[in-house]
Amino acid sequence: MDPETVRSWIAAAETELSELSAEADRVQFRLAEKRRQLMLLYEVLASLTNSPVALPADYMGTRKSTRDRVQSATERILLDHGKPMWIQGIHAEFIRRGVPLPGRGTPTNIAAHLVDLDRFRRFGRGVYGLAVWEKPPSTTGRSEEVDSPSKPHQHADPQPLTDEHRAAV
């Protein structure tokens, strides 16, 4: 395999990603338009019948929000991993598990949804874990207990997850 072949694969994947992003934007616009149309039709029906009309649960926004989906997926990933992870590792797990990525699909977009201090804690720059986990002691200011993002195949010994921690999440 030569570098030019890989570069051509990258170019094709970037092109497809760009096309899919544009298509997603068009679909989001159409969804917003249909929601507005549906709301107007419910208002017309309510005015014709002189009584309120119940809106479907999906329209009322009872589906999980992007933040809820990202937080739930991250929580599952962290529980499976058993210790804090670099955001790049969390991002890689989203991709590996087929979890839809928020926003532009970058690790930063995931991190933006992890501000819930009741569920998550930042253990260092770019390192996230569950709030119920104790912060590992560090004398250097670095998170030695976390796998290096550049070497995901090397694993430090995870701290065992206690029943108390599992019950808290």
For the chain, the straight-line distance linking the first and the last C-alpha, in angstroms and rounded, comes to: 46
Domain residue ranges in the chain: 1-63, 66-168
Query: Is residue 135 pLDDT above 80, yes or no?
Result: no
pLDDT on residue 9? 94
pTM of the model as a whole: 0.51
- What's the token pair of residue 71? 């937080």
Q: Which has more pLDDT, 116 or 63?
A: 116
Confidence of residue 73 (pLDDT cuts 50, 70, 90): very high
- What is the sign of the dihedral through the CA atoms of 11, 13, 19 and 22? negative
Query: Is residue 144 pLDDT above 60, yes or no?
Result: no
Residue 80 CA to residue 65 CA, distance in Å, equals 23
pLDDT in tens, 84-132: 999 999 999 999 888 888 888 899 999 999 987 788 999 999 999 999 9
| Degrees to nearest 5, angle at CA 137 with 87 and 91 | 5
Confidence of residue 58 (pLDDT cuts 50, 70, 90): low
Q: Where are the alpha helices (DSSP H) in the chain?
A: 3-49, 66-81, 87-97, 107-111, 163-168
Average pLDDT rounded to a whole number, residues 13-36: 85
Residue 25 CA to residue 130 CA, distance in Å, equals 33
For residue 159, report the phi and psi dihedrals to the nearest 5 degrees: -75, 135
142 and 127 Cβ atoms separated by less than 8 Å: no
